[in-house]
Copies of this chain bind each other. A is one copy, B any other.
Amino acid sequence: MRVGELSRRSGVSVPSIKYYLREGLLPAGERTGPNQASYGDEHLRRLRLIRALIDVGGLSVAATRAVLGAVDDDTMALHSVLGVAQAAVTQVGEPAEDEALAGATAVVDDLVARRGWAVHADSPGRRAAADVLATWSRLGAPTHPGPDAYAEAVEALAAQEVGGVITDDREEVVEGAVLGIVLGGALLSALRSMAQEDASARRLADPMG
CB–CB B56/A193 < 8 A: no
* Copies of this chain in its oligomeric complex: 2
- Across the interface, name the chain B residue whose C-beta is closest to A159: B199
User: Given A77-B209, A139-B52, A181-B196: A149 and B160 within 8 A (CB)?
Assistant: yes
**Does A185 touch B at the CB level, under 8 Å?**
yes
**Complex contacts, A181 vs chain B, CB 8 Å:** 196
Q: Mark A177-209, 1 if CB is under 8 A from B, else 0.
A: 001110111111111111111111111110111
Residue of B nearest to A199 (CB): B162
Q: Looking at the complex, which one of B79, B120, B133, B183 makes contact with A144 (CB distance below 8 Å)?
A: B183
Query: B112, B154, B179, B209: which contacts A79 (Cβ < 8 A)?
Result: B209
* Chain B residues with CB under 8 A of A147: 187, 191
Does chain B have a CB within 8 A of A83?
yes
- A149, B157: Cβ atoms closer than 8 Å: yes
Residues of B within 8 A of A193 (CB): 86-87, 89-90, 123-125, 128
- Are the CB atoms of B56 and A132 closer together than 8 Å? yes
On A, residues with C-beta under 8 Å from B are 11, 48-49, 52, 55-56, 58, 77-79, 82-83, 86-87, 89-91, 93, 96, 112, 115, 117-120, 123-126, 128-129, 131-133, 135-136, 138-139, 141-145, 147, 149-167, 170, 172-173, 175-176, 179-181, 183-205, 207-209
Q: Can you sample 9 A-B contacts with CB below 8 Å?
A: A78-B200, A79-B204, A82-B204, A86-B196, A118-B198, A125-B192, A141-B176, A142-B173, A145-B184
Q: Give 9 new A-B contacts, CB below 8 A, not counting A52-B136, A79-B201.
A: A89-B189, A124-B193, A142-B176, A144-B164, A150-B187, A154-B191, A162-B199, A163-B203, A188-B188
